[in-house]
Structure 1
């Protein structure tokens, strides 16, 4: 009997000591290795608790806000802080591949803009081309010969790159209005490619202004302007001139840049870039900062002039002044257009032109900049539990 008690006591002691030793060994084990194990909470039901890696939530790439500035504007009137790019307009091409600015004052203004832009890290680019030429007529008659000949094209590329380096510019903008044939499109593509090959290794940008490609009355694609699709691989920004629709099918001031017209333009370019598998981040939607008069004998007026007459006009797209009716884009329309561009994956907004804007709280630049900023707010990060 005593022997049986002794054996029973021995078994209990061994079991007790063994339990302590196992507990000590397990306490040194890394708890993190069992986080993903299955834990039974009740018969017939299990919950898998997984350590979820945070979803990769990134802020959208910064949207650009590009402002063209005419060479005679007072550089002190530009809101550099809101703009990511200022495009100084214009350098005038010559048929032999040279270019010139509109006098010494233009060069002084450019240098002042470059200096002021550095305070806000705003990039400055030089636009070559434009609609009118300083020597009279359309720039097309000067620009086409310059880029059609390989020698004059190479000369123009060299002069633009050298000027950009000397004046500490951040890039070049091409404003060839407009390639009317497949041949024109090829010349323009070659020019863009050669400029790109020289600018990009130096860390400089290349942009191009393009026609809207949509008829403001029929809202269908127009074909009198041609582009070589491969050209868009060479550029960083494609600035869509989604305005001046008043000239389609006669003269209709109301077609300057209404929202339905812009909507068709955005859809066209988004589809075009999708079809060619190009990044839509290159696309930049252009908007007008001026008003078109219903009376064709009257002159366009700036958004600043409209605000000066009555600040309440900011909420509208039409106003009567100077004996006629003017059509423009007010603050709400600008916000809608900005949202439209962002929703379609565009890289930002462009305005023609910064010198026409109102100052202070009525500024359209401010309104667009705020809309772009709001569109880039990151979503909330989250964890998940998988049942």
Structure 2
């Protein structure tokens, strides 16, 4: 009996032992050890990381759309979302090389323009010069005198650079209307070179507004305005004023800025830049946002006023208003001119001036913007980190 019990006890122990081994093998094969890992959350650090401000983005565009705006305009009327550059007009040079703005209102508007533009990464530049001077008469004599003397020229360069720094501007536009001799051309080139040397290391831009150089009636080159081609190496944009042809020969409002006139201008500047091995991307074609009356005793009107009278005028180039006929560039012509500039390798378009545009669907700014965007193989606007 005792032997039998011992045998049974030994058998039970053996079975239990063997069963444990089999069970262990089964569990090992059918359980993924990774699924049984418990991740313990690390305690929070007592050191709080400092939040870093994202780098400021600078708008950089394959094609520019530049809009001049006069200093008395309400800054809120500008469609900054479609412009790569706004050029605030004008600062006035003195013969001694100082810079004048048109009172506190101009400075207030300049600062408001910068504030609005920053929301859309639109660059704001300050134009110096223009046709009329704040002290009366043409600005030519003031500007000519300032840049003819090395001392006053350097002073003007320094004053403009100070304004750029103080008002957080993106550059300066030179609007010397117009160099009328070889000496003027040489002095203007020297001024641009010296100003560019101040601005470019600061990542600021320099542009120059230039006369069309083509006679609206004969469609031939005009010789009384002179430029030194080397100057264009020192600027970022060359804004061609391809309008105001009504004054060529006897007064003719129809010569304001017709398409054949613009075509000759584009060909002239294209050939000039190719001859001197300059990048045509610097060339920017200017267009008018105003209408010229056939009766010279009547004032110009804005494109906006023409559209306010009748929205159908957007597709036309002439309109009867105020007892006369006005000539202007409507949406269809603007599309053609923009395409013309692009086909010749120009860097973009320029408008004089934004305050004269229509609001809403018939805005010429919108028309040009859409044409640039649709015609370009790359987006009109893209962004890179500011260095």
Place the TM-score, normalised by the shorter chain, in its bin.
0.7 to 0.9
Contact preservation (8 Å) 2:69, 2:87: yes
Number of equivalent positions: 320
Cα displacement (A) at 1:62: 1.1
Distance 2:328 2:203 in 1: 37
The Cα shift of 1:377 comes to 3.1
Unaligned runs of 5+ in 1: 1-59, 380-387
Q: Which runs of 5+ in 2 are unaligned?
A: 1-59, 380-387
Q: What is the distance in 2 between the residues matched to 1:61 and 1:326?
A: 35
Which position in structure 1 is the counterpart of 2:186? Answer: 186
Q: Structure 2: how far apart are the matches of 1:373 and 1:63?
A: 9
Partner of 1:168: 168
Aligned-pair CA distance for 1:378: 5.6
Q: Deviations over 1:57-77 (max 9, x none)?
A: xxx961000000000000000
Q: What residue in structure 2 maps to residue 119 of structure 1?
A: 119
Which residue does the alignment assign to 2:247? Answer: 247
Q: Which residue of 2 aligns with 1:263?
A: 263
For residues 86 and 355 of structure 1, what CA distance do their matches in structure 2 show?
11
Report what 2:98 is aligned to: 98
- 2:81: which partner in 1? 81
Partner SS state of residue 221, structure 2: coil
Partner of 2:339: 339
How many Å separate the matches in 1 of 2:376 and 2:248?
Answer: 35
Q: After superposition, give the CA deviation of every residue in 1:159-181 in whole Å (9 maximum; x if it has no partner).
A: 00011000000000000000000
Write the mapping of 1:1-387 to structure 2, written as runs, cut at 5 A. 62-377=62-377
Distance in 1 (alpha carbons) for counterparts of 2:306 and 2:350: 20
Match of 1:31 in 2: none
Contact 2:61 2:84 in 1 (8 A): no
Instruction: Give 1:148 shift.
Output: 0.2
| TM-score, with length taken from structure 1 | 0.82
Q: CA RMSD in A?
A: 1.1
Distance 2:363 2:61 in 1: 24
TM-score (norm 2): 0.82
Tell me which structure has the larger Cα radius of gyration: 2
Report how far residue 80 of structure 1 moved: 0.4
Per-residue CA deviation, residues 193-229 of structure 1 (Å, 9 max, x unaligned), is 0000000000000000000000000000000000001
